[in-house]
């Protein structure tokens, strides 16, 4: 097993859903967590929860679409805890709509957060991981990053295919050469606030109805899978 106690993780999108669950789970496993998102009040509440259980957390108010904001947050985490060993590129949004509605602002937002956010955080953290010749990057793609699930999910799926592709390419480039592990997380339906990012109330309702017919995974189950991968033995290169 890889000992991750006292390692440092940067988790984007930590103010709710899978990001918050991941922060709780990693902190319980002894990881110092940098919890990043835009809603600082949520992050402060999560930090208090983690610290009450004996964990360590640093609030990083961050917009992943803004490279300067990401760089500042990563630097603050480095200055506070001395390294960044795990990066969880988790922040994302899913405003579902049909392409012929031309909600181009929402398309842009998905590209900015779901794709460029992943690139911004990777660029902010990777140099330090390369320098220390170790690290683990988790990119949250989706089952929609492997298959297109019908009308409305087209642009979202395109962004998640991009995350899948980036993860595979990144693994090829930095895995052996720099001893950095790359894991693509591709969940199905998880019970989070993600559907709320859809602007059309009727489509939101449809998403809630379709979720009710399934047994959505709890965010903590995804966090457990991530923990398993983080602790799995590495291969020396
Ligand atoms: P949530 O809506 O609960 O969480 C999304 C998180 O992303 C929030 O913490 C939000 O924080 C953050 N976020 C959004 N925009 C930005 C931004 N510009 N900068 C920083 N943080 C941002 O949804 P999930 O937990 O479900 O989503 C997590 C990831 O999982 C996403 O990438 C999503 O696409 C993916 N996914 C989700 C599935 C599901 O069924 N729920 C299935 C497969 C993948 P804040 O608003 O405070 O900034």
Among 70, 56, 54, CA closest to 23? 56
Helix (H, G, I), strand (E, B) or coil at 84: coil
Nearest-CA residue for ligand 1 atom 43 is 142
pTM of the model: 0.98
Tell whether 102 is covered by a domain: yes
Q: Does residue 16 line the site of ligand 1, with CB under 6 A? A: yes
> Is 81 marked active-site?
no
Residue 36 in domain: yes
Q: Which atom of ligand 1 is least distant from the CA of 43?
A: 47
Residue 13: its pLDDT value, please? 98
Q: Which two tokens stand for residue 232?
A: 């799995």
pLDDT per residue over 25-54, tens digit each?
999 999 999 999 999 999 999 999 999 999
Q: Confirm if 175 and 129 have CB atoms less than 8 A apart.
A: no
CA dist 62 and 76 (Å) reads 11
Residue 2 has pLDDT above 80, yes or no: yes
At which residue do the structure tokens 């922060």 appear?
23
Residue 234 confidence class, pLDDT cut points 50, 70, 90: confident
Residue 237 has pLDDT above 50, yes or no: no
CA angle 95, 120, 152 (to 5 degrees): 15
- Nearest-atom number in ligand 1 for the CA of 217 is 40
* Residue 86: CATH number of its domain: 3.40.50.720
| 56: three-class secondary structure by DSSP | coil
Order of strands, sheet of 180-185, starting from the edge strand that comes earlier in the sequence: 57-61, 32-37, 8-12, 86-89, 135-140, 180-185
Strand partners, 141: none
> How confident is the model at residue 41, as a pLDDT?
98
pLDDT band of residue 236 (cuts 50, 70, 90) is low
Per-residue model confidence as pLDDT tens digits over 110-151: 999 999 999 999 999 999 999 999 999 999 999 999 999 988
Query: In this structure, is residue 236 part of a structural domain?
Result: no
pLDDT tens-place string over residues 158-198: 999 999 999 999 999 999 999 999 999 999 999 999 999 99
Give the lowest-confidence range in 8-12, 81-85, 202-206.
202-206
Calpha distance 199→205 (Å, rounded): 11
pLDDT tens by residue, 54-65: 999 999 999 999
Asked if the structure places residue 237 within a domain, the reply is no
What is the total count of domains within the chain? 1
Indicate which residue of 156, 160, 181, 192 is catalytic.
156
Q: Is residue 179 part of a domain?
A: yes
Regarding the beta carbon of 39 and ligand 1, being less than 6 Å apart is answered yes
Q: Ligand 1 mean position to 138 CA, how many Å? A: 14
What is the per-residue pLDDT for 223?
A: 98
Please state the three-class secondary structure of 122-154 as a single string. HHHHHHHHHHHCCEEEEEECCHHHCCCCCCCCH
Rounded Cα–Cα distance for residues 82 and 5 (Å): 14
Question: In the numeric block, which tokens belong to residue 8?
Answer: 């440092």
Helix (H, G, I), strand (E, B) or coil at 37: strand
Probe target for ligand 1 pocket from 91, 106, 145, with the most ligand atoms within 8 Å of CB? 91
Given the CA of residue 14, which atom of ligand 1 is nearest to it? 9
Q: Which two tokens stand for residue 179?
A: 């001893």
Query: Distance from the CA of 90 to the center of ligand 1, in angstroms?
Result: 6
Q: Which among 164, 213, 211, 162 is positioned nearest to 190, based on CA atoms?
A: 211
152 in ligand 1 pocket by Cβ < 6 Å?
no
Distance between CA atoms of residues 88 and 136, nearest Å = 9
Would residue 82 count as lying in a domain? yes
Helix (H) or strand (E) holding 169: helix 154-178
Residue 3 lies in a domain: no
- For the Cβ of 55 lying below 6 angstroms from any atom of ligand 1, the answer is no
- Give the structural domain span for 161: 8-231
Q: Ligand 1 atom closest to Cα of 94?
A: 34
The whole-chain average pLDDT of the chain stands at: 96
Instruction: Identify whether 175 is part of a domain.
Output: yes
pLDDT for residue 154: 97
């Amino acid at each position: 097993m890889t000992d991750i106690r006292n390692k440092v993780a940067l988790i984007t999108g930590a103010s709710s859903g899978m990001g918050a669950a991941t922060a709780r789970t990693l902190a319980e496993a002894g990881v110092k967590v940098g919890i990043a998102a835009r809603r600082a009040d949520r992050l402060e509440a999560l930090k208090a929860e983690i610290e009450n259980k004996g964990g360590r957390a640093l609030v990083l108010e961050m917009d992943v679409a803004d490279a300067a904001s990401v760089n500042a947050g990563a630097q603050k985490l480095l200055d506070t805890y001395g390294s960044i060993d795990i990066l969880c590129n988790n922040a994302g949004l899913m405003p579902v709509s049909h392409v012929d509605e031309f909600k181009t602002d929402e398309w842009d937002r998905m590209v900015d957060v779901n794709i460029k956010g992943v690139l911004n955080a990777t660029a902010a953290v990777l140099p330090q991981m390369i320098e220390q010749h170790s690290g683990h990057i988790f990119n949250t793609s989706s089952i929609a990053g492997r298959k297109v699930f019908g009308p409305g999910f087209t642009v979202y799926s395109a962004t998640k295919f991009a995350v899948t592709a980036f993860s595979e390419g990144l693994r090829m480039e930095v895995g052996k050469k720099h001893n950095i592990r790359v894991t693509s997380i591709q969940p199905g339906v998880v019970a989070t606030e993600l559907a709320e990012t859809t602007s059309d109330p009727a489509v939101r309702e449809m998403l809630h109805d379709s979720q009710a017919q399934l047994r959505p995974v709890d965010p903590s189950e995804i966090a457990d899978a991530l923990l398993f991968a983080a602790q799995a033995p590495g291969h020396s290169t």
